[in-house]
């Protein structure tokens, strides 16, 4: 086989141009169920319309997600191992004690057999690399010089060896070097043709020091360099990652690929400011590559010996993985030297074998698991052998071992990482997320004291070789939990079908048969009392015998709760099922588990039900696990539900034995549960200070880039340092793309990646418990991917990640500022000098043109079509064909304002869809479980429908937001005092707009008078007389202009009907997808199209004006001239005057 298809083309799970969210369904983005009589029949009617639209979106979502087939992956299964005794047939003829000796392979293979790993591997036949393959990297003259060494005598061999640095040559060296190179090629073939998933080549001599035309550092041919060139040539790969963790810098790899942007080389090595071999200035972090390859060589030099597990893992977590996600390799090759393992006489490092298991586990996130390790250095026989076995267990799919405590990177390591980040900031957008100029705080300046290596190896290998449970993944599910239902609203989003659809999808994909079924049970009242008060338990229990009228009255006493006669028993089953799953994990019956349960639990407070939740299932499970263990078991609760788990936070906020981390929409306190307690500054209290970590998003449409960045920068560094013994996931999937409540864009693949990362913790003891998620297709696919990853399948390809939303970056910075004092792993920052070097003076608001590497490889954008590329990202616009580049980033340059100032200013501004447009805050937001009320109830004297007041004077709803369909002139007569008042007035309603107001209430769409459009941030000098503003005055620029696509080949049909209703009156055309829909005074289909697709710019066929929904303004800009002129020519037979 000469080639294989690009795997990125085989996974087509991406959104269509329409998001399932529609104006009606968006009305449910708050979990607050309205009080009796609080909504009139008109609003209810509009909500029903929305549900119908949501059904249409549901069908599209099913079609989109149908492409994700977990049963037919192009990635192979099994782990290949190549070893040949022939590679032991050479040694140094003049120095019997030379460290690079045959005993290295003997020790490795003995350990592999001793631990029972050899029988679990697929043995691949060794072969020698051909001369043609050697010439992919090495010069013909060099190969010709090496071949005759097979027939030389000792004196001649020694003489030739002395011409190179750190070399000895034996008559068998040439043959063994060809076998070592060929062994890696065997694995490349097996992995790329899906015969195997991954592999390990155990051969010698090593190769990473070998250069094009000379031997160096025990190396004759550069095994991995040959493999990379071979993979590029035979399988047409365009992105290969080489990771070199050998303690010595692999300068040969650097020299060979330093001008090649298709191969990213990352090396972490001992350097000591050039005092450590190979004593090269090029080994420092400032060597970033040359010419076309600038930015594709990353050196992380350690400037002290004794670096430990925390140092290496921090380097991978904070530097390598973000860059690798941006690079998107199709194959990962590892120069696996184990001279950095504790006990090695050359390396003098303190990393344990377990550490290299974790590094291998991290690399399995990339290239859909296509990973090949090749033995390089390692000169303590036991350390090398244990390191190989630890990595091999990860390749075989065994759980990650626990690491040595305490886990804290030293200051020298943080300094080295920071310097490397600074050297590469301008090349990689992901590194620009780090905050600049912050104090790193105080860590230990030096690595820990020297330790007895055998004792460390003994402890580490006991954990690495910990016995495996008989089953890998447990699954608990019980149909009886479907009996909890809403008797008054059959369309309520917390449907019984949520769990049955998830379970059915698991069955369809063959996941249920691969899992160990765990029986469900009812939790006892004594167990409920672990987290809840007896009065609350009794009150919930009393609902079993209530009549419907009493149940409805009881429901109304809580925030967003419905109760049926079966609710109490269902909630007991949800808790008891999770208890059984946790017990199965802790008693080593299964490694990990999933609990498909309802009702959800994370909003439930100690003494109150809240947000669809009766009892806090995950909090109870944490306490149950601690009671089962008989001690304060360290538990990590990771909550990725789109809503903040207020109940979980309050239950554990003073408890240092439970680390609670929540990623959620916050919208500055306006998103459910509408409490300031969900802010990033709430870090716990008392003994629990620092053990509550909130990562709040202040805008909608957060997706894969934001969640992956949060995991890499915050979640995993803190979690590693906390060192949990059990991981519980409050797995709400309402941040998934298509969810009617969340308004976010996380894909099933991203949930798979987050699950894989969490498996590195607690020895792999992870329990995923269902919380929210209200698009039945999204939750079914998302939870299925999580289960698949728990079962050992490779995480699916994520696609190209765009830079995180500026608002998300600001949120991450806020979290880091809050928690740096508590967690030393977060004390990483880019020097302030780098910030100024990333920008050059330019007109305020203008972006520099995106730069491209001269030989960049352009790959298709795999972000959902409904998911906009966020404006003001470091690389601004994409490449001309809308395909982001894998090459290092160009940078936005804005004079006079720092990045932080701009993101702060944009926080409350429309970015695609403004947070206000997506929040859908209830008019009367009820305080949740003791949390401080953030949103005040609407005043009875507040005026018309839809008005609401925010604490601090944030917003009042307009009666008539300016939208396409009618030219309006609106006069706003306000005094300066009124403009500064805390309760700004609403715009007067236009006659006949009552229906539109109802629709806006149902969809949660409102426009704050006081907030500015994004265009106004950049154009403060528009001519507006005080007290009067004309809504028809167009803005000369807006950020959404970059979304405008070229005219379709068929041109425009200005007389075409609305594609939804067939109307030919007052139609508009979308300038992104060129669909035609009617305006707001016909059937509002263009408004609905905007809500569902997030396309902002539309052209009126009536007056040829262009409206931007995101900026809520008319726009006049040269980018729009082609569309306007084309429409004008069709209508009037001539070009539009005055365009130029």
Q: Quick check: 782 and 733 in contact, CB under 8 A?
A: yes
pLDDT score at 449: 56
Q: Looking at per-residue confidence, does 1 or 1062 come out higher?
A: 1062
pLDDT score at 934: 33
Whether residue 250 has pLDDT greater than 70: yes
What's the rounded Cα separation, in Å, for the pair 1061 and 1064? 9
DSSP percent split of the chain into helix, strand, coil, nearest 5? 40, 10, 50
The tens digit of pLDDT for each residue in 501-513 reads 999 999 999 999 9
Average pLDDT score over residue span 168-172: 97
pLDDT score at 446: 53
What's the rounded Cα separation, in Å, for the pair 679 and 667? 10
What average pLDDT does the chain have?
81
The tens digit of pLDDT for each residue in 1080-1091 reads 888 889 988 988
603 is catalytic: yes
What's the rounded Cα separation, in Å, for the pair 146 and 169? 9
pLDDT score at 1042: 85
Confidence class of residue 21 from pLDDT cuts 50, 70 and 90? very low
pLDDT score at 846: 33
Q: Quick check: 460 and 385 in contact, CB under 8 A?
A: no
Whether residue 813 has pLDDT greater than 50: yes
Least confidently predicted of 331-335, 397-401, 698-702, 989-993 = 989-993
Nearest to 174 by CA among 200, 211, 144, 141: 144
Q: Quick check: 772 and 642 in contact, CB under 8 A?
A: yes
Confidence class of residue 906 from pLDDT cuts 50, 70 and 90? very low
Q: Quick check: 368 and 75 in contact, CB under 8 A?
A: yes
Q: Quick check: 270 and 248 in contact, CB under 8 A?
A: yes
With vertex at residue 415, the alpha carbon angle to CA 457 and CA 335, rounded to the nearest 5 degrees, is 50
Tokens of 686: 């008392």
pLDDT score at 1113: 86
Whether residue 900 has pLDDT greater than 90: no
Beta-carbon contacts of 369 under 8 Å, excluding residues fewer than 6 positions away, are: 75, 197, 198, 794, 795
Whether residue 860 has pLDDT greater than 90: no
Average pLDDT score over residue span 807-824: 95
What's the rounded Cα separation, in Å, for the pair 349 and 342? 5
What's the rounded Cα separation, in Å, for the pair 813 and 681? 11
Q: Quick check: 683 and 720 in contact, CB under 8 A?
A: no
Least confidently predicted of 74-78, 164-168, 970-974 = 970-974
Instruction: Tell me the backbone φ, ψ of residue 11, rounded to 5 degrees.
Output: -115, 100
Whether residue 291 has pLDDT greater than 90: yes
Residue among 603, 664, 753, 1095 flagged as catalytic? 603
pLDDT score at 1137: 82
Q: What's the number of CA atoms in the CB half-sphere (13 Å) around residue 940?
A: 0
Average pLDDT score over residue span 419-435: 90
pLDDT score at 63: 54
Residue among 170, 208, 209, 1128 flagged as catalytic? 209
Whether residue 913 has pLDDT greater than 90: no
Average pLDDT score over residue span 215-236: 98
The tens digit of pLDDT for each residue in 360-395 reads 999 999 999 999 999 999 999 999 999 999 999 999
pLDDT score at 1033: 73
The tens digit of pLDDT for each residue in 717-748 reads 999 999 999 999 999 999 999 999 999 999 99
What's the rounded Cα separation, in Å, for the pair 1112 and 1132? 28
DSSP state of 151: G
532 is catalytic: no
The tens digit of pLDDT for each residue in 1030-1053 reads 446 788 888 888 899 999 888 888
pLDDT score at 884: 36
Q: Looking at per-residue confidence, does 179 or 890 come out higher?
A: 179
Confidence class of residue 462 from pLDDT cuts 50, 70 and 90? very high
The tens digit of pLDDT for each residue in 438-450 reads 544 445 555 555 5
**SS3 per residue for 644-713:** CCHHHHHHHCCCCCEEEEEEEECHHHCCCCCEHHHCCCCCCCHHHCCCEEEEEECCCCCEHHHHHHHHHH
Confidence class of residue 1001 from pLDDT cuts 50, 70 and 90? very low
Q: Looking at per-residue confidence, does 518 or 1113 come out higher?
A: 518
Q: Tokens 């997600």 map to which residue? A: 65
pLDDT score at 447: 54
Q: Looking at per-residue confidence, does 615 or 840 come out higher?
A: 615
pLDDT score at 993: 41
Q: Quick check: 491 and 58 in contact, CB under 8 A?
A: no
Cis? peptide before 466, omega within 30° of 0:
no
Q: Quick check: 734 and 643 in contact, CB under 8 A?
A: yes
Confidence class of residue 634 from pLDDT cuts 50, 70 and 90? very high
pLDDT score at 443: 52
Query: Cα–Cα distances in Å, from 1047 out to 915, 1079, 1102, 1125?
Result: 31, 21, 18, 11
The tens digit of pLDDT for each residue in 767-782 reads 999 999 999 999 999 9
Beta-carbon contacts of 37 under 8 Å, excluding residues fewer than 6 positions away, are: none
pLDDT score at 828: 85
pLDDT score at 951: 33
Least confidently predicted of 21-25, 313-317, 346-350, 651-655 = 21-25
The tens digit of pLDDT for each residue in 305-340 reads 999 999 999 999 999 999 999 999 999 999 999 999
Average pLDDT score over residue span 550-575: 96
Tokens of 447: 């690595």
Whether residue 866 has pLDDT greater than 80: no
The tens digit of pLDDT for each residue in 673-717 reads 999 999 999 999 999 999 999 999 999 999 999 999 999 999 999
371: three-class secondary structure by DSSP: strand
Q: Looking at per-residue confidence, does 1084 or 839 come out higher?
A: 1084
Long-range contacts at 37-40 (CB < 8 A, ≥ 24 apart) = 38/923, 38/924
pLDDT score at 748: 97
Instruction: Tell me the backbone φ, ψ of residue 692, rounded to 5 degrees.
Output: -125, 115
Rg, the chain, Cα only: 31
Q: What percent of the chain has pLDDT over 90?
A: 66
| Sheet-wide strand order for 1113-1114 | 1076-1078, 1067-1070, 1097-1100, 1106-1108, 1113-1114
What's the rounded Cα separation, in Å, for the pair 136 and 210? 13
What's the rounded Cα separation, in Å, for the pair 956 and 119? 69
Nearest to 423 by CA among 526, 552, 301, 536: 301
**SS3 per residue for 858-906:** ECCCCCCCCCCCCCCCCCCCCCCCCCCECCCCCCCCCCCCCHHHHHHHH
With vertex at residue 707, the alpha carbon angle to CA 703 and CA 710, rounded to the nearest 5 degrees, is 150
Q: Quick check: 887 and 858 in contact, CB under 8 A?
A: no
The tens digit of pLDDT for each residue in 841-850 reads 333 233 333 3
Tokens of 241: 């990652």
């Amino acid at each position: 086989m000469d080639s294989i298809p690009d795997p990125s083309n085989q996974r087509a799970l991406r959104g269509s141009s329409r998001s399932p969210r529609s104006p009606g369904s968006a009305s449910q983005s708050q979990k607050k169920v309205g009080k009796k009589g609080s909504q009139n029949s008109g609003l209810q009617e509009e909500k029903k319309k929305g549900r119908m639209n949501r059904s249409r979106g549901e069908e599209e979502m099913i079609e989109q997600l149908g492409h994700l087939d977990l049963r037919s992956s192009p990635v192979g299964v099994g782990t290949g191992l190549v070893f040949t005794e022939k590679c032991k047939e050479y040694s140094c003829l003049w120095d019997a004690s030379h460290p690079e000796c045959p005993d290295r392979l003997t020790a490795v293979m003995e350990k592999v057999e001793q631990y029972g790993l050899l029988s679990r591997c697929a043995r691949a036949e060794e072969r020698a690399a051909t001369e043609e393959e050697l010439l992919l990297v090495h010069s013909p003259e060099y190969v010709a010089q090496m071949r005759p060494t097979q027939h030389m005598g000792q004196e001649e061999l020694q003489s030739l060896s002395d011409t190179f640095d750190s070399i000895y040559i034996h008559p068998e060296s040439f043959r063994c070097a060809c076998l070592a190179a060929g062994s890696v090629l065997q694995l490349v073939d097996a992995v790329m043709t899906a015969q195997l998933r991954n592999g390990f080549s155990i051969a010698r001599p090593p190769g990473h020091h070998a250069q094009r035309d000379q031997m160096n550092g025990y190396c004759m041919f550069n095994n991995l360099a040959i493999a990379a060139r071979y993979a590029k040539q035979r399988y047409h790969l365009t992105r290969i990652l080489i990771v070199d963790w050998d303690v010595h810098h692999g300068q040969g790899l650097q020299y060979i690929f330093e001008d090649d942007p298709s191969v990213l080389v990352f090396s972490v090595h001992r350097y000591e400011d050039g005092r450590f071999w190979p004593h090269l200035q090029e080994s420092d972090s400032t060597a970033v590559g040359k010419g076309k390859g600038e930015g594709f060589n990353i050196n992380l030099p350690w400037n002290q010996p004794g670096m430990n597990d925390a140092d290496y893992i921090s380097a991978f977590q904070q530097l390598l993985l973000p860059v690798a996600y941006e690079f998107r390799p199709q194959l990962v090759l590892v120069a696996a030297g184990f001279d950095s393992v504790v006990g090695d006489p050359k390396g003098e490092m303190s990393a344990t074998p377990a550490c290299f298991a974790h590094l291998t586990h991290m690399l399995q996130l990339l290239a859909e698991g296509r990973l090949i390790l090749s033995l390089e250095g390692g000169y303590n026989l036991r350390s090398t052998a244990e390191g190989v076995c630890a990595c091999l267990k990860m390749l075989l799919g065994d759980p990650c071992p626990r690491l040595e405590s305490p886990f804290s990177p030293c200051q020298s390591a943080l300094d080295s990482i920071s310097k490397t980040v600074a050297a590469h900031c301008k090349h990689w957008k992901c590194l620009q997320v780090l905050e600049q100029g912050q104090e790193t705080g105080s860590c230990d300046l030096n690595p820990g004291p020297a330790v007895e290596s055998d004792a460390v190896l003994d402890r580490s290998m006991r954990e690495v070789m910990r016995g495996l449970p008989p089953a890998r993944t447990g699954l608990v599910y019980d149909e009886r939990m479907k009996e909890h239902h809403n008797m008054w609203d059959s369309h309520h989003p917390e449907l019984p079908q949520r769990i049955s659809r998830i379970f059915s999808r698991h069955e369809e994909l063959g996941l249920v048969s691969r899992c160990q079924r765990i029986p469900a049970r009812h939790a006892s009242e004594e167990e409920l009392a672990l987290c809840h008060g007896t009065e609350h338990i009794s009150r919930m229990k009393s609902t079993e015998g209530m009549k419907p009228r009493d149940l409805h009255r009881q429901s109304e006493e809580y925030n967003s709760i419905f109760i049926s006669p079966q609710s109490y028993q269902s909630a007991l089953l949800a808790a008891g099922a999770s208890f059984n799953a946790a017990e199965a994990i802790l008693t080593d019956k299964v490694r990990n588990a999933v609990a498909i349960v309802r009702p959800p639990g994370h909003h439930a407070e100690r003494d109150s039900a809240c947000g669809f939740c009766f009892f806090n299932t995950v909090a109870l499970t944490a306490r149950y696990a601690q009671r089962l263990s008989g001690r304060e078991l360290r538990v990590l609760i990771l909550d990725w539900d789109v809503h903040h788990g207020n109940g979980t936070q309050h239950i554990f906020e003073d408890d240092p034995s439970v680390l609670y981390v929540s990623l959620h929409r916050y919208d500055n306190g306006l998103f459910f549960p509408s409490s300031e307690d969900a802010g990033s500054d709430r870090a716990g209290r008392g003994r629990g200070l620092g053990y509550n970590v909130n990562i709040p998003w202040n805008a909608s449409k957060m997706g894969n880039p934001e969640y992956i960045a949060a995991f890499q920068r915050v979640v995993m560094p803190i979690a590693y340092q906390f060192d949990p013994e059990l991981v519980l996931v409050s797995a709400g999937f309402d941040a998934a793309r298509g969810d009617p409540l969340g308004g976010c864009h996380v894909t099933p693949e991203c949930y798979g990646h987050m699950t894989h990362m969490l498996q590195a913790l607690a020895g792999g003891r992870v329990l995923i418990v269902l919380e929210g998620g209200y698009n039945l297709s999204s939750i079914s696919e998302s939870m299925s991917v999580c289960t698949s990853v728990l079962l050992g399948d490779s995480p699916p390809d994520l696609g190209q990640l765009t830079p995180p939303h500026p608002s998300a970056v600001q949120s991450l910075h806020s979290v880091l500022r809050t928690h740096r004092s508590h967690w030393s792993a977060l004390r990483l920052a880019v020097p302030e000098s780098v910030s100024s070097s990333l920008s050059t003076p330019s007109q305020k608001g203008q972006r520099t043109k995106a730069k491209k590497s001269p030989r960049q490889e352009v790959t298709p954008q795999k972000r959902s079509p409904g998911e906009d590329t966020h404006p003001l990202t470091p690389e601004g616009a994409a490449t001309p064909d809308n395909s982001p580049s894998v090459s290092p980033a160009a940078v936005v340059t804005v004079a006079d304002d720092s990045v932080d100032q701009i993101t702060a200013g944009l926080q409350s501004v429309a970015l695609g869809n403004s947070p206000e447009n997506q929040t859908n805050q209830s008019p009367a937001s009820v305080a949740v479980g003791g949390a401080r009320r953030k949103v005040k109830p609407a005043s009875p004297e507040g005026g018309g429908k839809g008005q609401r007041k925010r604490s601090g004077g944030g917003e009042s709803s307009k009666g008539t937001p300016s939208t396409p369909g009618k030219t309006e002139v609106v006069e706003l007569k306000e005094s300066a005092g009124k403009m500064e008042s805390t309760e700004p007035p609403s715009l007067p309603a236009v006659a006949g707009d009552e229906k539109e107001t109802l629709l806006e209430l149902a969809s949660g769409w409102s426009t704050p008078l006081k907030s500015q459009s994004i265009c106004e941030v950049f154009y403060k000098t528009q001519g507006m007389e005080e007290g009067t503003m004309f809504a028809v005055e167009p803005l000369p620029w807006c950020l959404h202009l970059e979304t405008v696509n070229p005219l379709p080949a068929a041109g425009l049909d200005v007389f075409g009907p609305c594609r939804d209703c067939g109307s030919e009156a007052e139609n508009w055309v979308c300038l992104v997808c060129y669909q035609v829909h009617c305006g707001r005074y016909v059937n509002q289909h263009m408004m609905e199209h905007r809500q569902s697709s997030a396309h902002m710019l539309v052209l009126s066929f009536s007056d040829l004006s262009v409206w931007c929904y995101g900026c809520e303004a008319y726009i006049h800009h040269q980018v729009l001239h082609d569309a306007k002129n084309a429409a004008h020519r069709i209508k009037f037979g001539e070009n539009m005057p005055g365009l130029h």
